[in-house]
Amino acid sequence: MENQVTPLYRKIIHIDMDAFYASIEQRDNPEYRGKPIAVGGSPEGRGGVVATASYEARKFGVRSAMPSKQAKQLCPEVIFVRPRFDVYKEVSQKIREIFHRYTDLIEPLSLDEAYLDVTHDKQAIGSAIEIATLIKLAIKEELQLTASAGVSINKFVAKIASDMQKPDGLTFIGPSRIQSFMENLGVEKFFGVGKVTASKMKNMGLHTGADLKRLTEDELVKHFGKAGHFFYKIVRGQDDRAVQPHRETKSVGAEDTFPYDLEDFSEMYEELVKIAPVVSERLKRHHLKGRTVTLKIKYSDFKVITRSQSFTQGIDDLDTIISAVKNLLEAVDMTNKKVRLLGISLSNFGEVVMREKKDEAPDQLKLF
C-alpha cells in the first residue's frame, strides 16, 4: 500500500453563489429576468430589509442589509420578492451534493457559500482549479445558476479571490503570487478592516497591504488591539485555519465567529442580516415559532453578553427577526467595543405547528 504524500500546501476552494436568492427567483420566474429585484421585505412593511439584490438592482446601489425603503428610493423600478427559504434550502442541498462528488471536507458558511478542502480529492483529479471549474459547470448545467470560485492555499486568500471576478468568476492565487497580491491589496479589502479601522489606517498613511507589512506585530497590536496579530499574519498570507465540516448542535439559531474584530454598527448589522435567513429557515424546517429572540455578542476580550426581546406570539419570519436584533443591537453601548462573534437564536416555542419527531433536538449552525 502506497503512503499518501502530505502536500506542502493545502488546496482550498471558496464557492460563493452569485446573488443566490435573487438568481433563483429570476430562474424560476421569467418575468423577473433582466430586471432589478430585491428579495426581502416590502418597503410598505415595517422594518423591511433587503436580503439579496439582483445584479440589475446592484447597479443602482441596492445591496443586502439595506432597508427596503432606501432600496426603493435608489431604484424606483425595483421589484420586491418575498423569500422562499424552503426552495433556497433545497437548492443549497443540491449544491452541497455537487461538492460531495469531490470532497467531504466542506465548511458551509451559509446557504450560498462554503469552503472546500480538495487537497486529497475523491476523484484524484489533483488540480483545485479543475475541480472548481467542474463544480461551476455542474451548478450551471444542473441548476441553471452561477457561482464564483476562489482557489488558493488557505481560506482567507480563497475567500478574497472568489469576490474578484463576480459574477461567474474563477480566480486562482497561488503560493508564488500571495505575497505580491496581499501587498497590493487595499486595506479596506482585508476582512476585519471595516470603515472605522480603514479610516484610522489611512489617517496613519496605511493604504495597502505593503504599508501594513512595514509595521511590526507589536506596532500593529499597539494601534489595533488583538486584531493586530491577525493583520500581521494575514498581510503575509498566513492562515492556518482548517476547513471544518462538523457543526455543533444546540438550539434553533446561528452564530458567526469572525477571525477579526468588528468595530462599527453597519458591519455588525450586515453580518446579522446574513445570519438571520439561516435562523428563519431552520425554524420553518422544524415547524417552530419562538416568542423570544436573543442576540449574542462576544467581544474581543471574550466577554459574552446576550440581549433578548419577547413577543406575545411565536415568530419565524425574516423581517421580524431582523427588526428585533437590530433594535437589540442599537440598545447596546458599543463605545470602545470590538466584536468577535454575533449570534441570533429563538426560544420559548409557544407555537409548535407540527413536530415530525418529538425527540428531535433543535439545532444551531455555527457559520465559522
Bridge partner list, 307? 295
CA 192, 146, 71, 43 torsion-angle sign? negative
Nearest to 346 by CA among 368, 316, 318, 326: 316
> How far apart are alpha carbons 76 and 63 in whole angstroms?
14
Domain borders along the chain are 12-18+86-175, 20-84, 177-234, 253-366
User: Distance of CA 20 to CAs 49, 111, 222, 245, Å?
Assistant: 16, 9, 40, 22
CA distance linking residue 35 with residue 27, whole number of Å: 12
8 A C-beta contact, residue 239 and residue 154: yes
Q: Which of 357, 7, 9 is nearest to 157 (CA)?
A: 9
Q: Which of 25, 56, 107, 113 is catalytic?
A: 113
The whole-number pLDDT of residue 361 equals 32
Beta-carbon contacts of residue 141 (< 8 Å; ≥ 6 apart): none
* CATH, range 253-366: 3.30.1490.100
Tell me which fold the domain 20-84 belongs to.
MutS, DNA mismatch repair protein, domain I (3.40.1170)
CA within 13 Å, CB half, 225: 17
User: What is the pLDDT, as a whole number, of residue 4?
Assistant: 56
Q: DSSP string covering 303-332, please?
A: -EEEEEEEEEEEE--HHHHHHHHHHHHHTS
Secondary structure of residue 287 in the 3-state scheme: coil
CATH hierarchy code of domain 177-234: 1.10.150.20
Whether the Cβ atoms of residue 331 and residue 307 lie closer than 8 Å to each other: yes
Query: Is 113 considered catalytic here?
Result: yes
Pairing of strands 106-110, 304-315: unpaired
Grid cell 504524500 in the structure block, residue: 5
| Cis peptide leading into residue 167 (ω within 30°) | yes
Q: Which CATH architecture has domain 12-18+86-175?
A: 2-Layer Sandwich (3.30)
Q: What is the pLDDT of residue 217?
A: 94
CA separation, residue 240 to residues 76, 155, 197, 243, 244 (Å): 46, 8, 24, 10, 12
| Residue 89, pLDDT score | 86
* Residue type at 322 in one-letter notation: I
CB neighbourhood size of 189 (10 A): 15
Assess contact for 235 and 213: CB atoms under 8 A: yes
* pLDDT given at position 245: 87
Going by C-alpha positions, the residue among 69, 78, 136 that lies closest to residue 102 is 136
- Mean pLDDT by runs of 10 across the 368 residues of the chain is 64 97 97 95 75 95 89 95 90 96 92 94 96 98 98 94 94 94 90 81 94 94 87 89 67 80 87 90 82 91 88 86 92 87 85 32 32
In the chain, where does DSSP find H-type helix?
20-28, 55-58, 68-74, 85-99, 128-143, 155-162, 175-184, 195-203, 209-213, 217-224, 227-234, 265-285, 318-330
